[in-house]
Amino acid sequence: MNILFAASEATPYIASGGLADVAGSLPAAVTQKGHDCRIVLPLYKGINPHFRASMTFITHMTVDVSWRKQYCGIFTAICNGVTYYFLDNEYYFGRDGIYGFFDDCERFVFYSRAVLEMLRYIDFKPDIINANDWQAAMIPVYYEVFYKYQQGYENIKNVFTIHNIQYQGNYGKEVLNEVMGLPMYHMSLLEYDGGVNMMKGAIETADKVTTVSPSYAWEILDPWYSHGMDRILRTKQYKLSGILNGIDVNGYDPETDEIIEKNYSARSTVGKKVCKAKLLAELGLQEGNEPVIGIVTRFVSHKGIDLIKYVFEDLIRVGFKFVILGSGEKIYEDFFKEMEWRYKDKVSVSLGFIPELSRKIYSGADMFLMPSQSEPCGLAQMIAMRYGTIPIVRETGGLRDTVRDCGGENGNGFTFKTYNAHDMFDACMRAKAAYEDKRGWNRIIKRDMAEDFSWANSAELYIKLYHELTDK
């Protein structure tokens, strides 16, 4: 099959979150299984000049953005055996940053239309276009309205993947005519709750809708998780399925990771103790036998920071140490900095995005805390397990799909169900009791490190989904 993967970011070129990890890894895994999976990205100013130097200019074209005709250059490059296409327009993408501009609607309408126009100029006809999140949501809409019956566009199937349902591309109705250039009789495709919702348009027009974990696929049918999208999703439930994300198991490998203090494996975990001692020394924390909880997250409410705040000092009193890395809302940053000031020998807080330190936390902590209110998939708990750091998580989304409680058979972590601080505290205490049985704890570490979270499994499921559409 020929598959075109449309995303607004992808490693190693440009990244702001989990979408980039997926777009950078999944097409490579699909390609390794004998299919031709290519990626199309905007050509942002923020892409490193040494990556730009390896790009080849193909041609330029004109893209309709409502009544405007805009220039678009097409560049290409090959990375990790995968062909990338880059869509260039200095006005839309020659800016510092990826998102958060007043005209994001117009920028990504241009991108979506340009993806489809590009197919006239490249030697590649996709069987499947897999669009990701609201920034690419107009691709299936435009295909349905303008391209479906054009020569050269026959029988292309559209898949739309939701990575985070909170961000939907909501705008006023004026964008329909002024920016999107859609005939008013197609207004119903995008109209939702009195405005225009780009994600709703993709759900209406795509052949399949996927999410990044099986649990998230049924959770978003519930108003608690759906940010208002449950009504349309319930009517299109027959299209909906969830496929768990993978992680880059070669990039995150404690046996070969050059950033961590000492390499180790499931066969011999001695190096993990060295990593812990070095982490504590580096961050100025007391050495000792107490368990160290690692937290690497954004400081926002849906990550469950309120639960941590509520019982944080209780957890310190019962003998936990904390190593925390992240940034976000000031109220949470101030809270953690105050805790570090109060408990200098037990709490370390680093504000910001520091990839080297995150590796050291994954390898040096004993436990990894993720009490999320909602979690479409979550990669951190899988990375933590890869490094033998035992997750403590709330059973939601991808956390439910990857972490099995050690109270049952074959457990690989500690879980709690309700969004409640004392239930989280109880899960931490059960983890602490297990930690004190060194032989049993070592068994859990080895079990976690043996888990297979590679993209190979996810790629098989995506290929099966693509076959369901192309084999009809």
Report the DSSP beta bridge partners of residue 247. 454
DSSP three-state, residue 70: strand
How long, in residues, is the chain?
472
Cα 403 to Cα 45: distance, rounded to the nearest angstrom: 39
In three state form, how does the secondary structure of 166-195 look? CCCCEECCHHHHHHHCCCHHHHHHHEECCE
Q: Which is it for the CA torsion 361, 362, 365, 370, positive or negative?
A: positive
Q: Over 429-462, what HEC string results? A: HHHHHHHHCHHHHHHHHHHHHCCCCEHHHHHHHH
Cα(131)–Cα(138) distance, rounded to whole angstroms? 9
Parallel, antiparallel or unpaired: strands 208-211 and 240-242: parallel
Point out which residues pair with 208 in neighbouring strands.
159
Mean pLDDT for all residues in the chain: 95
The single residue listed with the structure tokens 């879980």 is 415
Strand partners, 196: 171, 191
pLDDT band at residue 471 using 50, 70 and 90 as cut-offs = confident
Single-letter amino acid, residue 454: S
pLDDT given for residue 16 in this prediction:
85
> Which pLDDT band holds residue 288 (cuts at 50, 70, 90)?
confident
Q: What is the pLDDT of residues 332-381, one digit of tens each?
A: 999 999 999 999 999 999 999 888 999 999 999 999 999 999 999 999 99
SS3 (DSSP) at 214? helix
- 41, β-bridge pairs: 86
Percent of the chain with pLDDT over 90: 92
What is the strand order of the sheet 157-162 is part of?
Answer: 56-65, 68-79, 82-88, 36-42, 2-6, 128-132, 157-162, 208-211, 240-242
Residue 368 has a pLDDT of 98
CA gap 367, 385 in Å, rounded: 9
**Distance, CA of 220 to CA of 304 (rounded, Å):** 18
- Separation of CA 17 from chain center: 6
Distances (CA, A) of 147 to 123, 143, 443: 18, 5, 56
- Is the separation of the CB atoms in 117 and 132 below 8 Å? no
Q: Give the pLDDT score at 92.
A: 97
Residue 458 has pLDDT above 70, yes or no: yes
Which residues 6+ apart lie within 8 Å of 126 measured at CB?
2, 3, 4, 38, 119, 156
- The alpha carbons of the chain give a radius of gyration, in whole angstroms, of 23
Strand partners, 42: 87
**3-state class of 249 per DSSP?**
coil
**pLDDT of 159 strictly over 70:** yes
Q: What is the pLDDT of residues 434-446, one digit of tens each?
A: 999 999 999 999 9
Query: pTM of whole model > 0.85?
Result: yes
Residue 472 confidence class, pLDDT cut points 50, 70, 90: low
CB 115 within 8 A of CB 86: no
Q: Name 324's bridge partners.
A: 295, 349
The pLDDT assigned to 370 comes to 97
Query: For residue 160, which phi and psi values (nearest 5 degrees)?
Result: -120, 125
**3-class state of residue 268 by DSSP:** coil
Per-residue tokens: 470? 């192309």
Sign of the Cα torsion 173, 174, 180, 182 reads positive
* SS3 at position 314: helix
For 401-436, the pLDDT digits (tens) are 999 999 888 899 999 999 999 999 999 999 999 999
Q: The tokens of 94 are what?
A: 């020659």
Give tens-digit pLDDT for 47-99. 999 999 999 999 999 999 999 999 999 999 999 899 999 999 999 999 999 99
Per-residue pLDDT at 201 exceeds 90: yes
